[in-house]
Amino acid sequence: MKKRSVLKWVNRIVSTVLMILLVSVALMVVFTKLSGGEPEVFGYQLKTVLSGSMEPGIQTGSVIAVQSVDGDQRTNFQNGDVITFMEEENKLVTHRITEVATSNSGVLYTTKGDNNNAVDASPVLAENVVGVYSGFTIPYIGYLINFAQSPEGSALLLILPGILLFGYSIFTIWRTLSTLEKEQKETAEAK
């Protein structure tokens, strides 16, 4: 009797975990697609680091939290701040400010990757700054997010938990039918 009770609890736990996994992955994929590939939570965007220019502090493949900025916030940065800015060709870059200057065009930031030998070729206009690095980093998870954003990854991460849940359901039904059949056989032999 105790064995059955334990099996019921294990069954419930496994079913719940698989269902949570399926829903979580589906939500992650949907939110990633709806937000254009960069989810935002409480004013922070999660960005995947694709190069080693900021190593060792920010490693390639990490996910970093970048606080979104707009308007006057863009002109208030100082030397040492790590900013994320739009470079030509719609490419985002996260580098450290080494110099702040003012010109007729507005505030200009000279930036440099911590792992680079020289400053970046062009200064960054304040209006091109999209965020400031919050200091929050999760190493290596960016590889998984990049995979999840690919068509193959999206399909796999949506289909795999569903297949696991379906397979586990088939197993549970088979085990229940076997138990019922065994009980019926024992009842028939007892009569």
Residues classed as catalytic: 51
* CB-based contact 74:129 (threshold 8 Å): yes
Separation of alpha carbons 80 and 22, rounded Å: 42
Question: 92 is written with which tokens?
Answer: 């985002």
Long-range pairs for 158-166: beta carbons < 8 A, 24 or more residues apart: 158/25, 158/26, 158/29, 161/18, 161/21, 161/22, 161/25, 162/22, 164/18, 164/21, 165/15, 165/18, 165/19, 165/22
Separation of alpha carbons 28 and 36, rounded Å: 12
Pairing of strands 129-138, 82-87: antiparallel
